[in-house]
A and B are shown apart, each in its own frame.
Chain A
């Protein structure tokens, strides 16, 4: 069901996340969700881990969701959608449902990389026909910017503040996309709302693949990142251009970089607009920026090598 991605045509579609949600001004998450839902015409049912997206989109008597949606708990978005998908398969097998329905689990990095990792891994391993979409804003934002394993090294968070003896997070971040690819699922990819066509293409591609799929989408948070309310798309673009957040996909084990920046920017371009990295721009902490750059460069080289492994 591949659709041509032309904004004019897309703009005529109903957006299945309504206005009136409570996410902060300039939040990356609702834009990510909007793009994900616009990309397809299939009916979609979603589960959602506890977090910013969940509490802000469904609170009290109000829901911004125009699709069937379930929030269960923090760590089990994947397990919950597994249950929904299993019921669908059961009822379809019994002839009680005919239509084609797609299943998506939404989770923040907290509910995906950390507490939700087991449930995600289990669902992927069992082969449920679903897409797990992580909107990665790099910390437990909903509870006030606490570090997660997705937080970049050097970042100032409330549980690992940049202080006089500890300069923010000292561990590098987990590469969850690679962990998911290592599950040998048919499709794992990274996307960014700044590169909307790439994002939507990946969503469409994922819907056409049968089995478990994983999409990791960067989702800037101006509160946690201490950035301006208007630069979430700009920052996600910089994330891609500095190769901090490379856009690639691993389809049946074959790695393909889906976007190569014309000019790979130095990581400071990404770090400078964010207040959470402000403390790194001092002589005693510049080694951290250097380390961040080294890690990015190494990962990018590795990714390019992986791609070469499979190119004809």
Chain B
């Protein structure tokens, strides 16, 4: 592929990566960035529907949302937030490395981003597993019993305010949104990590440190967007009335 590309660019004078329908590399790069942003707009609207649902039901069933939120582990949530923010930093550094043609810097940035991303998903798995065990997964196995009669702590006091039964059943709506929103976010992370592996492989071969690094930049935009979604999910899901 590389020898064909070089021969091609010797046949007429333009960089190997320039597609024929573009006038120059700058136009191609701007178009690609614009296209990526338009795709991210669709992601904003996609998650937007979920945020709308969340806001409606939080307004309607606030006590149930409080109770549901209290069953999430703040420490794990905060740690995950830190992992993701750091991965955004490492991704931004990766983009800088590709712009300044630092091949090993780019490779290590991508590796760090992958590890942080996998770490995030690992913790998510732990959280999901706990939810499953507590019968908080919506559907046939869901039980609101622990909200009507909360478990007792060491002193024999209930760990949280008990809910009336007709409010307790609405915790299923909270958890539906919890799983829909974090699940959809996780799907985007999994796809992102998959692409990161492909980018890592190509970066190791030097493909993105020759002056044409649009792919890395575009993926960076995607990854940062996934981070932004989590920046909103964390306070909305984990931090409802924690005082």
A in complex with B: no
